[in-house]
A and B are shown apart, each in its own frame.
Chain A
Amino acid sequence: MSVHDFVVEYVLGELVPEERAAFERHLDGCSRCSAEVATIGEVIVEGAFAGAVAPPAELRTRVLESVADAGQVASLGRRARWATWVTAAAAAIVLIVAGSTFLARPTDIDRIVASADAVTVVASATAAHAGDGAIEVVYLPATGEAVLSAESLAAAPDGQTYQAWVIGDGAPQPAGLFAGGADRLVILLEHPLQPGDAIGVTLEPAGGSPAPTGDVLFLGA
């Protein structure tokens, strides 16, 4: 199957989530395919406007209500968004795993994120050079299992990696490495997160560090 076939299937919405995520990563580096997606996309738009069907008025109310909540409490919306991330990120996880020393099993990630007991921690940018990325951790207080997601995080500079840290009473504990540079990525943390712990993210030399050496870029508790 040629890349061009993927362009058509991508625009037609026919790729399965893993293929879609992989193709979106390809688009990040391929201006030719991006331009193809843009032009073919306009044909789809014409078709959709020609085949418009008015939705019921109450749907508008429901959508606007959901959006009004989404930026604030957002636990439900966030959960729903996580669910889509996890599926879409399944292919990305494989790549991340290849570059690090631990194994993230999508089934674990799914189970943690989907759990009614999951608690979300937002790690906020604490340094100007953290960029526009957003990092969140969802964990299960009962077991300490935790999943970190990063959205729109800039790629780590050459020779460096992002490293997550679980910060409890003692020294920060290394909790996993990730590269950034994808629209979104999801990893299973290697160190349990307990209520009251904070989560930090630094840039470290490739391979990671036993204790943080870089500035804390993101911090949440």
Chain B
Amino acid sequence: MSNERTEQLNAVMARVASGDKSSFAELYDMVAGPVFGTVLKVLRSRELAEEVTHDVFVEVWQKARAWNPDRGSAAAFILTMARARAIDRVRSEESRKARDERVGRAAFERPDDHVEREVMAGMDVVHARALLNRLSGAQREVVELSFFGGFTQAAISDRLGIPVGTVKSRMHSALRAMRGAEEVS
């Protein structure tokens, strides 16, 4: 399932990288939802998320030739860029305080329900669930806050009241466990 998607996206990206603008709409349709979801979770503002999503896609077009398949699929290239730009935006344009206030508000939303809802709306629910099920509770918590909550590791450390080194080692072991599952599936 996901392999087919990966290959389709890689093929479209290769056409975009060769300067084919007509393929760009196809690329957009394939990844706009994941990009917008990723950016929205980090920024927590639809207005900012739309702006950053727009800029990410323009950058994808401009830098399509820099995509190196040895470093990952086209989807990974785009989504890593999306997350990085969203985090850059949080860092550069918003005071730490404003961010903390929003994080505080988000806490009232009972994030676990929120995550569940987002995940259930997703396209690859079964696969993502299977990956998450490989994790211990502590690993799963940091992965969910990072992937679905849009928090940086530093923010997760603040939120859970545990050292950032602990967050990083949980994330590291969680990613290794999930990656093992990816390779098997």
B183 contact set on A, CB distance < 8 A: 39
Q: Do A53 and B59 touch (CB < 8 A)?
A: no
A70 at the interface (CB under 8 A from B): yes
Q: Do A152 and B172 touch (CB < 8 A)?
A: no
Bound together, the chains give a CA A85 to CA B36 distance in angstroms of 23
B127 contact set on A, CB distance < 8 A: 46, 50
A3 at the interface (CB under 8 A from B): no
Q: How far is the CB of A14 from chain B (nearest CB, A)?
A: 5
Q: Do A43 and B175 touch (CB < 8 A)?
A: yes
Bound together, the chains give a CA A151 to CA B64 distance in angstroms of 12
With A48-B38, A80-B58: A38-B71 Cβ-Cβ less than 8 Å: yes
Q: Do B123 and A49 touch (CB < 8 A)?
A: yes
A35 and chain B: residue at smallest CB distance = B70
Bound together, the chains give a CA A54 to CA B121 distance in angstroms of 10
Q: Do B84 and A42 touch (CB < 8 A)?
A: no
Chain B residues within 8 Å of chain A by Cβ, number? 74
Q: How far is the CB of B18 from chain A (nearest CB, A)?
A: 12
B87 and chain A: residue at smallest CB distance = A13
A11 contact set on B, CB distance < 8 A: 76, 80
Which stretch (A60-68, A114-122, A140-148, A210-218) binds chain B?
A60-68
Q: How far is the CB of A124 from chain B (nearest CB, A)?
A: 16
Q: Do A14 and B87 touch (CB < 8 A)?
A: yes
- A-side residues, CB < 8 A to B, are 4-5, 8-17, 20, 27, 31, 34-35, 37-56, 59-60, 62-64, 66-68, 70-71, 77, 80-81, 84, 132, 151-152, 183
